Amino acid sequence: MRLSTRSRYGVRLMLSLATSDRKDPVFLKDIARSQEISEKYLSQIIIPLKAKGLVTTFRGAHGGYLLSRPASQITLREIVEPLEGDLSLVDCVRSPEVCARSGECVTRDVWHEMSALLLEFLDTFTLQDLIVKLRKKRKGGGAADFAI
């Protein structure tokens, strides 16, 4: 399985909002510039994130976007799922009726477990966790700090 550009850019967009030094709403054009992503593409990505209640929109001259909740309360799954759609590895995991063999297929059981592990894994990371990782990378070039 590969995550689409939509999901990867969506996470970067949300991380940009989470790490913004400004307390005012952030313009999409500023995120596009800093992340080197097309503003037009980001404007398409923000729609499902807003629909899921992850971002709040402000209109007008001082408009833009803010996270709807603290970064510690937004998981990667909440960001990736609306951008990717169903994260099941194969169709029969979500809809067993698409395959006549679903009831007896042992590989479907494996794909089901893998899909569940992926969702659980994405649920374990929040935007706040990514902020911490980002700060560590910026501080030490990504090297682990073993100082006591």
- Classify residue 70: in a domain, yes or no: yes
Mean pLDDT of the chain: 88
**Is pLDDT of 43 > 90?**
yes
Number of structural domains (the chain) is: 1
- Alpha carbon distances (Å) from 6 to 9, 89, 95: 5, 18, 24
- Classify residue 91: in a domain, yes or no: yes
CATH code of residue 122: 1.10.10.10
pLDDT, one tens digit per residue, over 44-94 is: 999 999 999 999 999 877 789 999 999 999 999 999 999 998 887 778 788
Please give the pLDDT value at position 141: 61
- Domain housing 82: 5-140
Mean pLDDT of 4-27: 92
- Classify residue 145: in a domain, yes or no: no
Buried b (16+ CB within 10 A) or exposed e, 85-111: eebbbbebbeeeeeeeebeebeebeeb
In the three-class reduction of DSSP (H, G, I as helix; E, B as strand; rest coil), residue 54 is classed as: coil
- Classify residue 146: in a domain, yes or no: no
Please give the pLDDT value at position 48: 97
- Alpha carbon distances (Å) from 48 to 7, 10, 70, 102, 109: 11, 10, 18, 31, 30
Contacts of 68 (CB under 8 A, 6+ apart): 53, 54, 55, 56
In the three-class reduction of DSSP (H, G, I as helix; E, B as strand; rest coil), residue 67 is classed as: strand
Rg of the chain over Cα atoms, rounded to whole angstroms, equals 18
pLDDT, one tens digit per residue, over 106-135 is: 888 888 898 899 999 999 999 999 999 999
Q: What's the full length of the chain, in residues?
A: 148
- Classify residue 147: in a domain, yes or no: no
